[in-house]
Structures are given as structure tokens and as C-alpha cells.
Structure 1
Amino acid sequence: MKALILEELTWVELNKYINDVKVALVPTGSYEQHGPNTTFATDTVRAYEIAKMLGEKYGSDALICPPVGYGISPHHMKFPGTITLRPDTYISILMDIAWSLKQHGINKILYLTGHGGNRFALGTAITKIKMEYNIDAYWSGVGSGVVKDLLDEKNCSKIRGHACEAETSQSWYLAPWLVKEEALEKGKIKKESKYKDKGIVKDGGVYWDFYEVSENGALGDSTKASIELGKEITDLVIERLCEMIDKIIL
């Protein structure tokens, strides 16, 4: 089926299908450093590409919205170029998008995040959207967090999730231009750091200094990345997200 991608349509074209839309998919990511391995756009582009692939499966049942490019990345600010939003700003943006979609009769939204640092704010945002606008809102990741079992099976690095072999592989498969193949580097984890295993902040908060964890801004070992692994990751992510969307649009 042809995906219903908002930024590729006129209002006249969309108007033919707007009453068919059962859910809006809103990609969200970040513009933050990803070591020497992939570009600042990594999280946002992965989320958008996944959303467009889902759009091809759902056709006019799903409206694919433009991505929210910036995210919550204060923990990467010691690396030049990272841009972060305040949590309140990020939540307000997501709520304004939801309010706008409701004006057009869309009452179900799934936010797809390529950036783990957004997850706490996403939880707050979907709660506020439901309470204040009576919209059914949901969120999901699009990468490592969705396929932990596969990554364990493939013996991927224990410390992973950012510019690692999994994320780099998925980027390579979805948008090859994100990957700096000639510069791929294993994460240079600082052994002396109290954050080295991220255990103390796993569920307790998003703010921690990434530079105190990794000297080059990467985790895992991106030199083991491959397009083949990226396809396996993406195929399973799509399968699991389709299961979620099917339940949402019932």
C-alpha cells in the first residue's frame, strides 16, 4: 500500500483520505552526537524511516507525520554540536501536535522514538494528552529496546544502545548516509566512571554525563556493524510495532 506521508501531500490530496485515518504516527528523535560512527541525525532519521515503512503496510489507516527532530539530550552536551530541548518544551511540542491532529478528527497517536533519552518525557506527554485532550496516545522505541532478545542472541555488546553495532547496523540499513564507514570505532568506555554500566540510572532518571561514560561518545562496538544485522533488527521491530498498531486501531 502507498504510505500516507504528510510532508509529501497537499491538503487537497490528504482530504480524500483523512476520514480513513485510524492512527497518526509521529516520529521523534534527537540531534546529538553519536561518536565518530553516525551523524547527529541518527535517532530522528531512524524513527522517520521506520514510520514510513509502517505507512507502507497500513496505507490510509495511518498518517505519517513529519518528525520532531530535537529531543532531550542534556547528557550529551559536552560533545560539540549536540542540541537539546528542555523537557517542558519537548512535552509541549508533542501536545501541540496532538491537539492539532484532533482538530482533523484523529484521536489516536503513536509516537515513535529513536532516542532513549526521550522516554521519560514521552510517558508524561501521553498521560497529559489523554487527560487534557481525551486522545489515546502511545509511544514506542524503534531500535535496540524493542529487540533486546535478538541482540542477546547475536552476542552484541553488553553495554549498548548508543552508536553501538546495533544502532549503527540499523542506520546502515535504513539510511546509509548516516554511517561514517571509514571512521567506525569501538566505544571507549571509561573504566573509572561510576556510570560505566549505567546501572544506577537505568530507571531512575535520564540525566547523566555521557562523556563520563565514553571518551568517544559511543557504546558497544560499531566495527561489528553490518547491513544484514540492520535488516534483521528492522524486520523484527516492524513486526512488533505492527502487533502494537493492530491493537491500537481495533
Structure 2
Amino acid sequence: MKWEYLTTRQIDAIDRNIPVFLNIAAIEQHGPHLPVATDALIGAHFLDRLDDALTDTVLVLPQIKVCCSRHHLDFPGTLSVKHATFLGYVTELLQSVVDAGFKRIVIVNSHGGNQAIGQVIVEQFGADNPGVTIGLVTWWTLAHAELVAVNESGPFGIGHACEFETSLIQHIAPHLVQHPIPQELSYVHTYPWAEGDMLRGAQGSMYRSMREISGGSGVVGNPAFASAAKGERISTIVVNRLITVAQTLGG
């Protein structure tokens, strides 16, 4: 069920133990071939499919599209808010959900730049609301084990506007993909302890702008291995994991 499409009476009649899902995404550059809405399209797609699968046993909040993308601001089209702004906005939004009596919340993240502040939201909101279950899942970590088997581009091939994200947009919104699609690996190396990709986490963290890590291309990884069929496979894997999350939280 989509929160914004229900009447106040319909919402009032819902079991307050229902899992409530919120996607946090991004509007930011995704190389020369993908739309700036890539992360938002992917996050909305996953929750649409979750809603289709579980119908009246999940409640989906309105998506938050513009989030924390300051490291992409060198590229036109990127929109961003400060971490403190995002923290306050999401916390107040979720507080209204809890004030309405709902007790089980899952934040579904579809943008790497949201991970750190997303964890802060979970820790702060959870401490401030005893008795409320709140969690955060990022789609590529949630389905990590299965996605490793899908990856063909190898180390550093999965990052941004890459094999996976390009495949997903080819599946979700092929009319928005611009050709030609980049056909080579784009990744600027740095210290070994600070290197990794979506499936192979770094040992530590170090700030680099997207212009720095991509060498100015806006792409981190290798989109040459992308396909619509692979995007459909990734979608099925991730949605199945989200269904499991919802079912474990269901009242």
C-alpha cells in the first residue's frame, strides 16, 4: 500500500504492526549515459515491486528523492542537501509515522552517499523512540551474496553508473539510457586501504569527490558489462531480499 494514495480513514484502519518502508535516494549525475534520477528510479522500482508482491501487508512512504550528494556537485544536474538538513527532515518525517502509531520502519537506501547519515538516523531515532523497530538496508549490501555471482566486471567494476546501475536502468527505463554507453573501466586508484567498490568494501574511508574518483568521467566502474536482462536479474534478487525483510518484521 502506498501511504499517499490512501485516505486518512484507510490509514487509520491499518494494523500498526505493519512494516513501513521509506526509500532514500538521490538526484545526481550518473555519467554521460544515465539520467540524474537513476538512484531514485532504482529505489522506487524496488519498493513498487515489493508493494506489488505483498500488497496490503506493507506500507510504503513517499520517496525522498533529493538527499546527500555534495560529492557530485562538480557535475551539472546534481541536487543535494546538507547532512544536518537531511537528518532533521527524515527524523521529523519518521516521527510523524511513529506518532500515528506505527512501530516498524525500514529505510531502504539506493545511494551510497546516504549510508553514513542513514546509520546516524537509525541510531538516533531508535534511541529516541523505545519500542519502535527501525532499520536501514542498502540494496547492494542487503543482497551482497547473490549479487557477487552476477558481477562480471570484477574488482572496481561496480561503483557508480556502472555495470549494475546501468543494467537496472536498462531494465526499468530503457528510454532514458543515452548511447553510446561507456565501454571501459573508469576508476582512479588511491591508497590500498581506501579502495573498494559496492561489493568489495574498503578497509577504511577517505573523502574523494566523484570527479576525483572517476577521473572526470562521472562513472566509477565498467558499464560495458550491463544489460537489461542482468538488470531484471538484479531486481529480482533485491526484491526477494526485501520481501524477506518485510516478512520477518510482519506482525
TM-score normalized by the length of structure 2: 0.86
d(CA) in 1 for partners of 2:184, 2:25 = 21
Q: C-alpha distance in 2, partners of 1:45/1:65?
A: 15
Residue ranges of structure 2 left out of the alignment (5+ in a row): none
Cα distance in 1, alignment partners of residues 63 and 193 from structure 2: 31
Q: CA deviation at 1:100?
A: 0.7
Pick aligned residue for 1:176 from 174, 177, 192:
174
Q: Counterparts of 2:68 and 2:202 in 1: how far apart (Å)? A: 16
Structure 2 residue matching 1:213: 3-state secondary structure: helix
SS at structure 1 position matched to 2:47: helix
> In structure 1, what is the equivalent of residue 78 of structure 2?
82
Distance in 1 between residues matched to 2:72 and 2:34, nearest whole Å: 14
Counterpart of 2:134? 137
Structure 1 counterpart of 2:93:
97
Q: Distance in 1 between matches of 2:86 and 2:194?
A: 24
Specify the code of the residue in structure 2 equivalent to 1:172. Answer: Q
Q: Which amino acid aligns with 1:183?
A: P
Change (3 A) 1:87 1:186: farther
CA gap of 1:204–1:149, structure 2 versus 1, over 3 A, is same
Counterpart code for 2:115: R
State the match for 2:110 in structure 1.
114
Q: Aligned partner of 2:210: which letter?
A: F
Hey, what's the Cα distance between the residues in 2 that align with 1:157 and 1:129? 37
Q: How does 1:45-64 map to 2 (within 5 A)?
A: 45-64=41-60
Aligned partners of 1:20 and 1:60 also within 8 Å: no
Q: CA deviation at 1:198?
A: 5.0
Residues 204/190 of structure 1: CA separation in 2 closer, same or farther (3 Å cut): closer
Report the alpha carbon displacement of residue 117 of structure 1 after superposing the two structures with TM.
1.2
* Local SS of the residue matching 2:159: coil
In 1, Cα distance between the equivalents of 2:100 and 2:12?
A: 10
Aligned to 1:9: 6
Q: Does the residue aligned with 1:26 lie in a helix, a strand or coil?
A: strand
Rate the CA distance shift 1:107–1:151 in 2: closer, same or farther, 3 A. Answer: closer
3-state SS, counterpart of residue 22 of structure 2: strand
Deviation at 1:206, TM superposition (A): 7.0
Query: Where do 5+ consecutive residues of structure 1 fail to align?
Result: none
- The alpha-carbon deviation at position 13 of structure 1 amounts to 3.9
Please state whether the residue corresponding to 1:183 is helix, strand or coil.
coil
Q: Deviations over 1:211-241 (max 9, x none)?
A: 1121210122223311110111111111222
RMSD: 2.4
After TM superposition, give the deviation of residue 207 of structure 1 in Å.
3.5
Matched, 1:202 2:206: no
Identify which range, 58-67 or 226-235, moves more after superposition.
Answer: 58-67
Question: Matched residue of 1:137: which SS?
Answer: strand
Aligned length: 243
| CA deviations over 1:96-129 (Å, ceiling 9, x no partner) | 1211111221111101111011111111101111
Return 115-124 or 238-247, whichever deviates more.
238-247
Q: Distance in 1 between matches of 2:233 and 2:185?
A: 26
The answer to whether the 8 A contact 2:16-2:102 is kept is no
Amino acid at match of 1:176: P
Distance 1:187 1:36, change over 3 A: farther
